[in-house]
Amino acid sequence: MITVATQNLAMAVGAAAGLAQLSVSTTDALVALVVFVVVASLTIAGPVVYYLVGGEDARRRLDELKDWLGQNNTAVMAVLLLVFGVILISKGLGSLTA
């Protein structure tokens, strides 16, 4: 089974490879890195903030979502990895034909 750490590593490597192909300045690369970290952190920060400010309704909804994700984990991961794979392959094929 693929772990979350493996998924995070694959996304980080994909982002780094895409950034390396752009041949941007150090400042632009740093800005891109900061944007990547902020966007990646939203999946954690968003639910945490919602939990803290949303009260009991937020807790109930987040619990329902957690249960649904637990029951459908395999399908969700398959779709997610398929999308990432298609994106990475299309980028790779695009650079081969250019």
Q: How confident is the model at residue 67, as a pLDDT?
A: 96
Task: Count Cα atoms within 13 angstroms, Cβ side, for 94.
Answer: 8
Q: How confident is the model at residue 2, as a pLDDT?
A: 61
The answer, yes or no, to whether residue 30 has pLDDT greater than 80, is: yes
**Does the predicted model carry a pTM greater than 0.75?**
no
Condensed to tens digits (0 to 9), the pLDDT of residues 48-87 reads 999 999 999 999 999 999 999 999 999 999 998 999 899 8
User: Which DSSP category does 90 fall into?
Assistant: H
User: What burial class does residue 13 get, using C-beta atoms within 10 Å of its C-beta: 0-12 exposed, 13-18 middle, 19+ buried?
Assistant: exposed
d(CA 40, CA 98) in angstroms, rounded, equals 30
